[in-house]
Amino acid sequence: MQTRGLRLSTVLLHIILLIGACIMALPFVWMLLSSLKDLSQVFIVPPKWIPDPFVWSNFKTSLTALPFGRAYFNSFYINIIVVASQLFTCSMAAYAFAKIRFPFREPLFVLFLATMMVPGQVTIIPLYLMMKSIGWLDSHLSIIVPAALFNAFGVFLLRQFFRGIPKEMEEAAIVDGANRWTIYARIMLPLVKPALSALGIFTFLGMWNSFFYPLIFLNTPEKFTVPMMLNLYRGMYSTDWTLMMAGASIALIPVLIVYIIGQRYIIEGVTLSGIKG
């Protein structure tokens, strides 16, 4: 009887999760179907889900009406630089906070984490003035450098993982004559690959979808990222929703590929990082 009740609760849980997944997928389904409609079908009341006819040319038009190729290149190379830089800087800081004893280590780490409580909108004016003073406005450096050098969440995630590594491994390496850099690069980093993969995926998804900072710092269309390029449909085409939805559907492809490939690493990295608090 107990087993039967357990099976029933499991079935009910899966039904609830399935309903929740369907509700969350509705906006994406609507976006994809809207990208295949003509403009007159988008705001029909009551809504018409299935396009009639299917306007496949929306995808070609959305790519050729604006320099989307350039925007894709900008987003990709910005993401690659930021992801690589964050993995390097966050892993070094996390290793120091987790394994190296130095004065005021814990207060500094708490202060470091406190920056997560400060919204980006609060610091945007000082950051804008800094970028202006060094001549980085309307430059990708104004987006890459602040994001590449600092990520409190990434340091916290990797620190938790480093703390789960037995200290005996580090002690054995020190006995063998290894210095801190050798221990970090050859012993610690290979052991935290799941957490590094999870952080890399989180960073890629966040940077790919970033709109706020490019909106503040970039002015030239040739330097726009994909979200900024999508925003141009609002004025240039009097908000042509079909082209915007088609462009958004195309922009979603890299995100889906990265998530599908890396979801195992996300789950593994986040789970294992909590072994030791």
pLDDT in tens, 212-248: 999 999 988 889 998 888 888 776 556 777 888 888 8
Q: Is the domain 63-272 a CATH 1.10.760.10 member?
A: no
Of the chain, the percentage scoring pLDDT greater than 90 comes to 16
Token pair recorded at residue 116: 């997560």
What was the pLDDT predicted at 119?
A: 83
Token pair recorded at residue 249: 């559907």
Res. 192: pLDDT tops 90? no
Spatial distance between the Cα atoms of 25 and 21, rounded to a whole number of angstroms: 6
pLDDT tens digit sequence for 41-67: 777 777 777 887 888 888 888 888 788
Spatial distance between the Cα atoms of 180 and 163, rounded to a whole number of angstroms: 16
Cβ neighbour number for residue 212 with a 10 Å cutoff: 11
In the predicted model, what is the mean pLDDT of the chain?
83
Secondary structure (DSSP) of 117-152: GS-HHHHHHHHHHHHHHTT-TTSTHHHHHHHHH--H
How many CA within 13 A on the CB side of residue 155?
24
Say which residues have a Cβ less than 8 Å from residue 122's Cβ, sequence separation at least 6: none
**Residue spans per domain, the chain:** 63-272
Place of tokens 């780490």: 109
| Amino acid of residue 199 | L
Place of tokens 């980093």: 189
What was the pLDDT predicted at 276?
A: 43
**Coil, strand or helix at 103:** coil
Res. 28: pLDDT tops 90? no
| Amino acid of residue 275 | I
What was the pLDDT predicted at 170?
A: 82
What was the pLDDT predicted at 129?
A: 93
**Coil, strand or helix at 257:** helix
Cβ(222)–Cβ(216) below 8 Å: no
Res. 277: pLDDT tops 50? no
Cβ(79)–Cβ(147) below 8 Å: no
pLDDT tens digit sequence for 114-136: 888 888 888 899 999 999 999 89
Answer whether the bond into residue 53 is a cis peptide, omega within 30°: yes
